[in-house]
Amino acid sequence: MLNTYPVGKFVFHGTGREYFKIWIVNLVLTVATLGIYAAWAKVRTRKYFYQCTELSGNRFDYHGDPKAILKGNSIVAAIALTYVISGTYAPGLSAFIMLSVVCLMPFFLVSSLRFHLANCSYRGLRFSFNGSVATAYGKLAVAILISLSCFFVLGILYAIASRVFDLEFYPVLSSMLIIATPIVLAISMSLVVAVFISGLRLFVMNNSMFGNASISCNARFAQFSKTTLKSVSIGCVVMLLLAIVAFVVNVSVFTGLVDFALPAASEPATLQDEAAQEQAQVAMQATAILSSMGIITVLGYVVLFAFGTYLKTAIDNLVWNNTMLANQHQFRSTASPMTATWIHISNILLIIGTLGLFLPFAQIRTTRYRISNMTFEPVGSINEIVRIEQAKQKVFGDSMADALGLELGI
């Protein structure tokens, strides 16, 4: 029986001070060259992050050609510029451009993945992506059909419920329907999100390779659904609690202002005075409601960002904990979704407080937490795994030959 060697811990050596120097130079040169230097900036950034990531005493590397990335950036910029101009002078053309971009998204995705992975290496051995464009289109079509079917069924059920139960004469059923609607909608949205995320992540992982060793993920759709439902539920509960608190606080504040602005008179109030007080109270209550809606909207964006981080971390854990190299070497991810969410929220506050200067430090902080919670559990020695794959690579050739010389910002 094979013995499992000590766990290979991923280590990130990047620092905010080092990356800040790279980031500020990239920013200045990108602005000075009207965006042309962005391709070279992306390569410098990726190379720094990859070379700062270590596994078992060896570091990763990135070899991308900035000119290939510049081609992709130029295409994206041309499409965006055409879309903006056509939106003013030819709305029909802008709609056609948007539809074309959506239809071409699977092709762009596969091209970018091939380019990106073919330019990533560990101990001189390249990664690669062998997923086909046809498969990407098939998975996208299935996801869209499932999503449309889900919303179609929801619409039919709601229409039936509205007709069968005359809500005007059945207030209890009306209340139950009002309560059930957001719950059913949240569950449906969770399933739709799970369909897209599971399809995308499994497509990427199951078609990636290290040398000639396959990377496979056996996570099931039920696991994705459970994870997304949990994340959506937490987000909805937090949003509801924040909305209630914001509304109560606003009503209390504005009610107090009304009482302060219209103190009780020493003499009996006339009908005119009572009418004025009532109008003032109504105005204050309306202002409180509008103010609450504004605060709730802002809080909604905060919760949305937090929900995205929580969901991404949970999905990353699910994917990596079900991923193996060559069907025997196991990956592990132990990042806490709550901790990652707090790091993300605090990063946003620090970025706002420093007028954007904390951004490179935030990127380092997030990357360090994610990578420091990653491990690789090989069956055998990592050195032996790499040696075997390097021997295969010499036989089968360099995976760079299969890479497209183009990357789009996916």
For the chain, count helices (H), then strands (E): 11, 10
Q: What is the pLDDT along the chain (410 residues), one digit of tens a residue?
A: 444 444 688 999 999 999 999 999 999 999 999 999 999 999 999 999 999 999 988 999 999 989 988 988 888 888 888 888 887 788 888 888 888 888 888 888 898 899 999 999 998 889 999 999 999 999 888 888 888 787 777 777 667 666 655 555 555 555 566 666 667 777 888 888 899 999 999 999 999 999 888 999 999 999 999 999 888 888 777 777 777 776 676 666 655 555 555 555 444 555 555 566 666 666 666 665 666 566 666 666 666 777 888 999 999 999 999 999 988 899 999 999 999 999 998 998 899 999 999 999 999 999 999 999 999 998 877 777 777 766 665 444 343 333 344 555 44
Give the helix/strand (H/E) hosting 326.
none
**Of 225, 381, 227, the residue nearest 307 (C-alpha):** 227
pTM above 0.95, yes or no: no
Residues in Cβ contact with 169 at an 8 Å cutoff, skipping those fewer than 6 apart: none
Query: Rounded to whole angstroms, how far apart are CA atoms 311 and 233?
Result: 11
Return the structure tokens found at 113: 């993945």
The residues pairing with 358 across neighbouring beta strands, listed in sequence order, are none
Amino acid in position 372: S
